[in-house]
Chain A
Amino acid sequence: MEAAKPWSPPAASGAPTTPKKTDWGKALPFVGPIVLFIVWDLVVRLGFIKPILLPPPLDALGALLGGLAGGPLLGDFAVTVWRTVQAFLIAAVVGMPLGVLLGSNEKAYRSVEFLIDFFRSTPSSALIPLFLMIFGVSDINKVAIAAFGALLIVVFNSAYGVINARKQRVMAAKVMGATRWQVFRDVLVWESLQPSFVGLRSAVSMALVIVIVAEMFIGADSGLGNRIINSQQVMNVKDMYASILAAGALGYALNVLFLVIERKIVHWSGR
């Protein structure tokens, strides 16, 4: 009975100290953005940059939220998402099987390696005029060039995933009597999953970049890229910054989404 009384105070005094520490740790990721917003606000307020070039952050945020909450920005946002998703799906559906097949036949991969590396290193935006000639000024054009850029990344990563599969797991399957096909199905495909996901994540970022660029410069009448360039031309900077932030948020969200999916599917990664 007596022990209960002195026992409670340390628990009470101990409790606030631990959450305090974790609270600070959790707050750290917000420090950067808050500092950026303060600097941004001060720069505009103190007149270092004219408000006609850079709106106050709250105005830009207001335009972003207002635009996304049923405003015209939402429509352009949706169009860009849809184009990116289309391009990404084409790249993933074609690229992953192609990469895994190429990777499991090293001679085949070596013979196309230069082409993949060359076009992977070529900025896809440099190919926009070429795609314009093939597809014309169309919606398909934007999706096609984004899909092309993303495809090479997926192929490369999936192929290397298979090529660098742990030799011992392949040997373990062989010694248990697995045929070449069974080794491929039960080991190589799985081993390639993690690098494939790295490829998919880079590919979706690449697709978004190319879609935005294409929307800016290939006679689009919709999409975030189109919105950014249009508002820039009429000096509607509030809307321009809102669109830029929307594009950034989209890229960030896609990245996080793929990290979450990857952790779910490739549950053994890093263990």
Chain B
Amino acid sequence: MNAVLNAPVYDADVPAPEFKPGPAGTHITIRGLTKYFAGWPLYENFDLDIPKHRIVSVFGPNGCGKSTLINMIAGLIPIDSGEILFDGKSLKDTKIGYVFQNYREAMFPWMRTIDNIAYPLKLEGRSKAEVDRRMAELVASFDVKFDLNRYPYELSGGQQQTASIMRALAPNPEVLFLDEPFSALDFEMTLFIREKLQEVFMQTGTTMMLVSHDLEEAVYLADEVLLLTKRPTKVAEILRYEDPRPRTTATLSEASFIAAKKRSLEIFQREVRR
């Protein structure tokens, strides 16, 4: 299995080159997903296609299971029934990265920050030289200004979350899941990490699924905004937002951005009232 996983590592853009393509442009295919919580359906026969090389923001009413959705796709929560395929492969043949909201409890405080970031590479059994090369790459692309030899608890919240995004990206995952990655950060750090994320996305084209409770941030980063209904959860609408990258603060006042945000808000409010 390691040989299969290692094969595409040096080429971040195309995770599995030889694989037969599914429906054009689709990366993650979800079919008939069903999940019950305490006897009540949260998801029932839920179908969804997540496009490749795109950022999809997940947005919806409280308790509709935004995080649960990406947790089920990422395999953190078991599903009752249904099928989730990544380019036709199952999860265990797919390399994913996951960024938690609570970075404090996601990093390992007994390891130095640099070892935290290198941990997934070590799990893959990479040689020291490979690990070092990849770490140098990451440090360069994130333009890290803080000391990675410190322990995570010695860093600020934003630095810790930056480190945990670096850890998630270290093995060049095919998909990156982000569960409200900014909600524990102050505004300044949120802006900084948002830009970093966009830069990384433009460099690598890694498919990303982002759960956010901040509509502006959800739209700003997204190629598609996935709007969900109240439970039992369905897709309310998938809204495309196609302004070119890099998006900047100027983007926030452009008509197309405001229109996309307004439209999302309308759908959201319609679903909340329903």
Contacts and interface: CB of A to CB of B under 8 A. Distances in A.
A260 B166 CA distance: 34
Contact of A168 (B106, B110, B171): B106
Interface string B148-159: 000101000000
Choose among B74, B76, B108, B167 the residue with the greatest number of A CB atoms under 10 Å from its CB: B108
B254 interface: no
A271 interface: yes
Given A175-B98, A176-B120, A178-B123, A187 B108 contact: yes
B164 to A, nearest CB: 8
A177 B76 contact: no
A186 B108 contact: yes
Contact of A171 (B76, B95, B96, B120): B76
B96 A175 contact: yes
B76 A175 contact: yes
B124 A186 contact: no
B204 interface: no
Main SS at interface, chain B: loop
Contacts of B41: none
Contacts of B100: 168, 172
Interface in B103-123: 105-110, 119-120, 123
Contact of A177 (B105, B107, B120): B120
B124 A177 contact: yes
- The SS class assigned to the A binding surface is helix
A122 interface: no
A197 to B, nearest CB: 13
Contacts of B171: 176
A172 B179 CA distance: 12
| Interface-centre pick from B95, B107, B120 (highest chain A CB count, 10 A) | B120
Contacts of B106: 168-169, 172
Chain B interface size range: 20 to 34
B151 A267 contact: yes
B108 A169 contact: yes
Contact of B123 (A168, A182, A268): A182
Nearest to B164: A172
Contacts of A193: 110
Interface string A241-271: 0000000000000000000000000011001
Interface string A56-98: 0000000000000000000000000000000000000000000
B75 interface: yes
Nearest to B167: A176
Interface string B122-150: 01100000000000000000000000000
Interface string A161-193: 000001011011011111000100011001001
Contact of A175 (B74, B151, B153): B74
A2 B107 CA distance: 56
Contacts of B251: none
A186 B171 CA distance: 18
Closest A-B pairs by Cβ, 6 of them: A268-B109, A271-B153, A176-B120, A168-B105, A175-B98, A190-B110
Given A174-B76, A178-B123, 17 more contacts: A166-B105, A169-B108, A172-B100, A172-B108, A175-B74, A175-B76, A175-B98, A176-B167, A176-B171, A177-B120, A182-B123, A186-B108, A190-B108, A193-B110, A268-B110, A268-B151, A271-B153
Interface of A: 166, 168-169, 171-172, 174-178, 182, 186-187, 190, 193, 267-268, 271
9 contacts: A168-B106, A172-B98, A172-B100, A174-B76, A175-B96, A176-B167, A177-B124, A178-B123, A182-B123
Interface of B: 74-76, 95-98, 100, 102, 105-110, 119-120, 123-124, 151, 153, 167, 171
